[in-house]
Amino acid sequence: MRFGLILPSFSYARDYATVGRLRDFAIRAEAMGFEGLWVAEHLLTARALYGTAWLSPLETLAFVAGCTSRIKVGTSILIPPIRNPVFLAKEIASLHMLSGGRYEFGVGVGWDAHEFEVAGVKLSERGGRTDEILDILAKLWTGEEVTHHGRYYDFERVIIDPPLPTMPRLWVAGGSKIKTDLSPDPETIAPSVLERICQRADGWIARAAGTNASVIADWAQITRRLDEIGRPPGSVTFAHVNMTYVVPTGDEAAALKEQRPRIERIMGAHRSFDHLRTCYLLGTPAQIRDRIGELADAGLEYLMLAPLDYDLGQLDLWEAELLPHFR
């Protein structure tokens, strides 16, 4: 199994020194052999669900790309439909060039109605806008002149420089989740998301809002659909993003006591702690390994792990307690 690090780009930090620690995370992750540095996106704090927002993703990746040289840098995820596709094409092209072709383009359609409201976009249009933007970006990154008259976007004679020598790999996020009234997303993987993964993606990022069983069931559905359209399963990387905080103890209660305030600071206390425990990688190191091992047995290839705070020591604990068991 390969590992990526979701950078703790939480916007709850209020001082320069804390967010500057992202540089240390990036340098250490590259030295430890992580495959990628990834960032989440939430423009606003979704106060009905989360306890924080995240720093702006492309700017954060530009920051860590500048202090590393080999490790991939990616969005897990970026929300295209709240953006102008021409501006987005330029921003990503710039990042991809400045990083030496290391950018990985992870996308999701988003769900927070407030973010869409302030962007002037209807939430109901998120899927259609995402697909149209992906089509537009593929054309603009060639450096050719593009005229586009679509359902949502309309422009003539646009050229984006620089043209990209290589295209960013496309990762599509989505999947089943535990039912909650706090999010409009369905409990099961939406047909449009399934098609976006199977028809377009180089990799699938399974969300952390479900269970191990739902992730495994989604992957089975994806592989069936890939077979139906004549695409080999190996052409889509099975990845999963999740949060964890390793406490080196065999005492479950002691581990959860340290983990609970940290997970609730990020995810809020609007859902029960039992709900959070079901979704996220909490408990003793052995329990976390068991969760990861079940996914590995189902075919998981790439695990993107997110720490719950700016504690750099977590990477050492991951190396001691988790990573060697699956490499």
* Cα distance between residue 135 and residue 174, in whole Å: 19
Amino acid 178: pLDDT? 87
Domains and CATH numbers, the chain: 2-325 (3.20.20.30)
164-195 burial, b at 16+ Cβ within 10 Å, e below that, comes to: beeebebbbbbbbbeeeeebebeebbeeebbe
In this prediction, residue 233 carries a pLDDT of 79
Predicted local confidence at residue 270, as pLDDT:
83
| Separation between Cα atoms, residue 247 and residue 196, nearest integer Å | 38
Peptide bond into 77 cis (omega under 30): yes
Give the C-alpha separation, 27 to 69, whole Å: 9
**What is residue 42's predicted lDDT score, i.e. its pLDDT?**
87
Structure tokens at 37: 């540095």
What pLDDT sits at residue 46? 76
Rounded distance between C-alpha atoms, residue 46 and residue 182, angstroms: 10
Per-residue model confidence as pLDDT tens for the chain (327 residues): 999 999 999 998 889 999 999 999 999 999 999 999 999 998 888 766 788 889 999 999 999 999 999 999 999 999 999 999 999 999 999 999 999 999 999 999 998 899 999 999 999 999 999 999 999 999 999 999 999 999 999 999 999 999 999 999 999 999 998 877 666 677 889 999 999 999 999 999 999 989 999 999 999 999 999 999 999 979 999 999 999 999 999 999 999 999 999 999 998 888 899 999 999 999 999 999 999 999 999 999 999 999 999 999 999 999 999 999 998
What is the model's pLDDT at position 266? 92
pTM for the full predicted model: 0.95
- The rounded Cα 115 to chain-centroid distance in angstroms is 17
E strand or H helix that includes residue 72: strand 72-75
Could you tell me whether strands 237-243 and 302-306 are parallel, antiparallel, or unpaired per DSSP bridges?
Answer: parallel
Between strands 72-75 and 36-39, the pairing is parallel
* Strand 146-149 versus strand 72-75 pairing type: unpaired
* Residues facing 10 on adjacent strands: 54
Q: What is the DSSP string of 38-49?
A: EE---SS--TTT
